[in-house]
Amino acid sequence: MQYQVPQFIDIEDRIIGPLTLKQFLYLAFAGAILFAAWFLFKFYIWIIIAVPIVAAALAFAFLKINDRPFVYFFLAAVFYFIKPKLYIFSSAPATPGPKAIPEKPLETAAPETEDKVTASKLKELALNLDTKK
């Protein structure tokens, strides 16, 4: 029995005309802001406000950088400016490091006297090994 394998799973469905749901929501949100601003501001101020909002909405809806939506690029830029940076190189350490402890010379133990192995001692050891005592 053969099964049909889904293809093009990375492409979003077109819901409203040629737009995906995300694209439509970005453009609708920008349109709602501009619609409200139309009644709040004079025309020349509305134009000044509308240009960056339209540019941002079009970028969020259609722009892709390295085949990734602009949203990921925007979030990476925001987090870059918000998060603290870690600088590895510093000419002076921020906190003093631990102080070196001077090493004390090791005390040597008294030398142990070594027993000399004699022939009788070897025979006794061999007998113990053979009889497995």
- Res 82: pLDDT: 93
Report residue 64: phi and psi, to 5°. Answer: -125, 135
Which of 37, 61, 32, 58 is CA-nearest to residue 47? 37
- Res 25: pLDDT: 95
pLDDT of 76 over the 70 cut: yes
Which of 20, 53, 21 is CA-nearest to residue 35? 53
SS3 46: helix
The domain ranges of the chain are: 14-82
88-113 residue pLDDT tens: 776 666 676 777 787 877 777 666 66
Which of 61, 62, 72, 73 is CA-nearest to residue 27? 61
Tokens representing 70?
A: 């602009």
20-56 residue pLDDT tens: 999 999 999 999 999 999 999 999 999 999 999 999 9
Neighbours of 33 (CB within 10 A): 15
